[in-house]
Amino acid sequence: MTIRLGYQIPNFTYPDKPVEQIFDSVVAQAREAEAAGFDTVLVMDHFYQLPGIGTPDQPMLEAYTTLGALATATENIQLSTLVTGNTYRNPPMLAKTVTTLDMVSHGRAILGLGAGWFEREHNDFGYEFGTFTDRFERLEEALNIIAPMLRGENPTVTGKWYKVENAMNNPRYRSQIPIMLGGSGEKKTFRLAAHFADHMNIICDKADIPKKLAALRQRCEEAGRDPATLPTSYLAMTVPVESEEEAKRILDTVPADRQSRVFIGTPAQIAEQLHSDVIEPGITGLTINMVRNGHVPGAVAAAGEALKPLVS
pLDDT digits (tens, 9 = 90+) for 59-96: 999 999 999 999 999 999 999 999 999 999 999 999 99
Question: pLDDT for 177-201, tens place per residue?
Answer: 999 999 999 999 999 999 999 999 9
What's the pLDDT at 243? 72
Lowest mean pLDDT: which of 107-116, 147-156, 238-247, 272-281?
Answer: 238-247
Q: Report the residue count for the chain.
A: 312
Average the pLDDT over 265-273 and give the result: 91
pLDDT of residue 245 exceeding 90, the answer is: no
Nearest of 150, 142, 146, 196 to residue 174 by alpha carbon: 150
Q: What is the pTM of this model?
A: 0.95
Cβ contact 254:262 at 8 Å: yes
Distance from C-alpha of 247 to C-alpha of 265, rounded to nearest angstrom: 6
Which residues does residue 297 pair with via DSSP β-bridges, in sequence order? Answer: none
pLDDT of residue 248 exceeding 90, the answer is: no
What's the pLDDT at 259? 72
Q: What are phi and psi of 158, to 5 degrees?
A: -120, 105
Q: What single DSSP character describes residue 210? A: H
Determine if the peptide bond prior to 83 is cis (ω within 30°).
yes
Share of the chain above pLDDT 90, in %: 88
Cβ contact 32:24 at 8 Å: no
What's the pLDDT at 72? 97
pLDDT of residue 255 exceeding 70, the answer is: no
Which residues does residue 112 pair with via DSSP β-bridges, in sequence order? Answer: 180
Sorted by where each starts, the structural domains of the chain and their CATH numbers stand as 5-311 (3.20.20.30)
